[in-house]
Every structure is written in structure tokens, then in C-alpha cells.
Structure 1
Amino acid sequence: MSDNKAKDLIEAVKNKGKILEAEMSFFDHIDVLRKHLLRSLLAIVIFTSLAFYYYEFLFNTVIMGPKSPDFWTYRMMCKLAAQYPSLGADFCITEIKGKIINTEMAGQFTLQINSCIMTGIVFGIPYLLFELWLFIKPALHEKERKSARGFVFFASLLFFIGVLFGYFIVCALSINFLTGFSISPMIENTFTIDSYLSSIATLTIGTGIIFELPVVIYILSLFGVMTPKFMRASRRYAVVVILIIAAIVTPTPDIITMMVVAFPLFLLYELSIFISAYIERKKNKELYGTSKAPNN
């Protein structure tokens, strides 16, 4: 009986050792992740500091750009209106109505801080993705590493393309509409600077995140969650969702503006189907030696 108790005690100690080892391994991973996140935070702080240094250009040229009639988008629209008169005189934007004010004593100070932090986050996202890749990479097999090669580059590229599209197209069209929209001549459009900055940040960064759709589909396809067959079958529903997103992002009454925003999203969805099909063919080739599964 004592021998059995001794064996049970030894087994319990071994199991406890395994549990402690697993817990230590878990906390080791948390510690490694913390270091990656701290380096990412340092990168964001550096970009935020640079934004403080170049704040005059950042605020007057970048942030307040869509409020100026000389903004690049409005100038291009006027050139198009002059070249194609069928677009109508309203297509050329020569005035951005509405007045922007500050209503808080520390409003302009917090504006500077918030806008610099926002800029630091936007430019720090590629490095954040890089650090996350360094954290995930050791847990991947060699084939998975090869499949995910270029993840940081393409994710960052799509994000910045989305940011530029959101800034030059979505922001410009939305601000022009919202600042000029009025339900009564007795109501004057006067906006706080916080509301203006919030709109710029939401539309710009939000569009950048939406443009990450191909990357999300790529990851889901690798895990078998998303398939090209499902995406093709859901295309009609995706079209409705994209039009709803475009209508929300650009609260303008004209269909042309909404389609300008929706068209890149259609392209992104079709690109995502192509990516998912590529992943499926690659998986089938590795499993069955052919690009099609046997049951196909």
C-alpha cells in the first residue's frame, strides 16, 4: 500500500512539474509579446514626436486640407468638370462651407496632442505588424512561413492605399457634403474642431482597415475558414453589404459618389476571391498532387 502511495506521490509531482512548465512557457510567451508591443509603442512614440516637430505642416496642409477649396481632390474635380461638361457645374467644388470653431479652453492643446498621436499610430502600424510577425513566426512551420512571406509588406501597402483613398476621396467628398448640407437657412453650420478631426480620423483610418480585406481572407483561407466557392456564392450579399458600407462612409445623396467609394471595395472582394482560390489550389496540390480535390 505504501508503494502505491509513493508511486502516486511521484506521479503527482511529475504532473505538477508539467503543469508548472506549461504555465512558465505561457508566461514566457506573454513576456516576449510584451517586449514586441513595447518596441511597437516606442516606434509610435518616435513617429508622434516627429509629428510634433512638423506640426505646422501636419495641421495646416494635411488635417485642414479637405476644408480648403485648393485641396488636390477638388482641383481634379474642377478639371474633370471643365473637360466633361456633362458632369455638371456642381461637380466642380470651389467653396467649402461651414465654420470650424474651438469651444474648449484646452481644445487646441488637446487637438495638437490627439492629432500627433493619431499620426504616430498610422505611421507606426507597419512596424507593429512587423513585431507581431516576429512574435508569430517561431510558431509556424517552414511551409507556413513561406506562405506568409511578404505579409507585413502587403498588409502595410494595402493599409496605406486605403488611408490615401480615404483621405483624398472619402474625406473630401464627405466633408464637402456635410459642411454644405442644411435643412433650413436659419441654421448655420458651425462645427467644433474635435468633430472635424474625429471625422477625418474615422474616415481615413477606417478606410485603411477596410482595405485589409484581402489579407484577412488570405489568413482565413489558410485555416480553411473561407473558401472561394463560398465567396462566389455570397457575391450578391457582398454587393449589398459593400453598397451599405459605401452609403454609410459617404453620406451624400448622389449615386455617383457612393459608387466611387464602392468600386474599390468590389475590386477588393474579387481580389479576395482570387487569393482564396489560389490558397485552395495550393493546398490541394500539396495534399493530392493536383490543383483540384478528388471529389471535384
Structure 2
Amino acid sequence: MEEMPFRIVNLKMAGQFAMHLWVSLVGGVILAFPYIVLQIWLFVAPGLKPEERKYAGVLIGSSSILFFLGVLFGYFLIVPLTVQFLGTYQVSDSVANQIDLSSYISTVTSVLLACGVMFQLPVLVYVGSKLGLLTPEWMRKYRKHAFVVVLIVAAVITPPDVASQILVTIPVMILYEISILIASRISKRQTLR
């Protein structure tokens, strides 16, 4: 790992220990995501029809893969940009950056989890389409609105520079277009029935 362009400091007696526990907890949630999704499915499955239950494997597998891809995307692309920008940003040369450890870890974990959740878009569209809540026509009609929402979310989870905002927006909009294709396929299947 390359050296930070700023200094990270710990201001609390048990700060490093608490951050170690927090990182372990977040890492555990990320690694256990497939199991968490499986448990949610097992809770919901008894209320579903048999033909709806047959998609469990695809739903759990794709949700897990997309979440891991989102976390990896956040870790390798967004976090370095965020840390570089926010860590080196200065109002004045007389104000030195000494970033608190809890602030640094909080920023990194929130970016990772936000990217993982944002990559769940195709799964949410799949479920919404199956339930009849989303149609491909509706998604195409409100594509511009979705673009604005994605830009706003990207602005919230990235530093205030345009490059990282675009870096988040592009894959999420690609996922949105893939989601429209998924909704179209589901709509065609339901029309044939």
C-alpha cells in the first residue's frame, strides 16, 4: 500500500482497538453477505408460490456476485480517489491535515458498503418486475430521472470532484440499462403466459 499523503492520528485510548473491531465487523458483513441474503430468502420463501421459489439460487448468487463486485469497485477505484482528494484538500496552507482514525475508517467502510448496495440495482429491478411494480416502459420513460438520482447518490458517496462522481455513475447507469433488459425479458415472459 502506498504511503498516505496525510497523517492519520488516533485521539482515543481504545481508538485503534475499537477501529480494529469495527473493520472486522464490516469485513464479516461483507464476507457473510451471501449467507445474509440466504437467511432473508429463507424468511420470505414460505410466503411465496412454488414457481417463485425456483429462482432462489439465481437470486442469491447474482445478488452476492453484484455485491462483491460493488465492494471491489469501491475498494480499488473509489476509495483511493476519495482518500486522495479528502486527505489532501486544504482550505489554507496554515491548516494541516491530521485525519482521525475513526473518520478515515468510517469514510472507507461507508464507501465500500454504499458501492456494494448500489450494485444491487439489477436484483431489485428483477424482484420489482416479478412483483409487477416495475415495467421496462416505466424505466425507459424515467431514465433521465434515474440518471439524476444516480448522480446525486454518486455525489454523496464520493468526494466532491467530478472524476470520481462520473466513475461511480457510469457503471451504475450500465447496471440500470441491464436492469431495463431484465425487466423487458420478465415482461415478455409474463405476457406469454
TM-score over 0.5 for the pair: yes
1:146 matched to 2:50:
no
Indicate the structure whose relative CO is greater, using CA pairs within 8 Å and at least 6 residues apart. 2
Distance in 1, matches of 2:192 and 2:124, equals 22
What is residue 175 of structure 2 aligned with on the other side? 268
| DSSP 3-state at the match of 1:185 | coil
Report the equivalent of 2:166.
Answer: 259
Match of 1:198 among 103, 106, 112: 106
Q: 1:234 aligns with which of 104, 117, 142?
A: 142
The Cα of 1:148 is off from its aligned counterpart by 4.3
| Deviation for aligned residue 1:185 | 0.2
Aligned-residue CA RMSD (Å): 1.4
- Relative distance call for 1:169 and 1:230 in structure 2 (3 A) is same
Q: TM-score, normalised by structure 1?
A: 0.62
Q: Structure 2 stretches of 5 or more lacking a match?
A: none
Alpha-carbon distance in structure 2 between the residues aligned to 1:242 and 1:187: 33
Consecutive unaligned residues of structure 1, counting only runs of 5 or more, are 1-64, 70-95, 287-296
1:121 Cα deviation from its structure 2 partner: 1.2
Which residue of structure 2 aligns with residue 135 of structure 1?
43
Q: Which amino acid aligns with 2:168?
A: V
Q: Deviations over 1:57-110 (max 9, x none)?
A: xxxxxxxx4xx25xxxxxxxxxxxxxxxxxxxxxxxxxx421100000111111
Contact 2:114 2:157 in 1 (8 A): no
- Identity rate, percent: 36
Q: State the distance in 2 between where 1:185 and 1:259 align.
A: 29
Q: CA deviation at 1:133?
A: 1.9
**Is 1:114 the equivalent of 2:22?**
yes
**Counterparts of 2:86 and 2:166 in 1: how far apart (Å)?**
18
Secondary structure at 1:97's aligned position in 2? coil
C-alpha displacement of 1:248: 2.2
Q: Following the alignment from structure 1 to structure 2, what is the Cα–Cα distance between the partners of residues 204 and 149?
A: 25
Which of the two has higher C-alpha Rg?
A: 1
Selected match of 2:13 from 105, 109, 113: 105
- Other structure's SS at 1:150 match: helix
Q: Which residue of 2 aligns with 1:277?
A: 184
Name the CA distance, whole Å, in 1 between partners of 2:189 and 2:120.
22
Q: Pick from 66, 74, 78: which aligns with 1:170?
A: 78
- CA distance in structure 2 between the partners assigned to 1:261 and 1:239 by the alignment: 12
Instruction: Judge conservation of contact 2:41–2:56 (CA < 8 Å) in 1.
Output: no
SS in 2 for 1:225: coil
- What's the TM-score, normalizing by structure 2? 0.94
Count of matched residue pairs:
193
Please give the residue correspondences for 1:26-175 in structure 2 after superposition, counting only pairs within 5 Å.
65=1, 68-69=2-3, 96-175=4-83
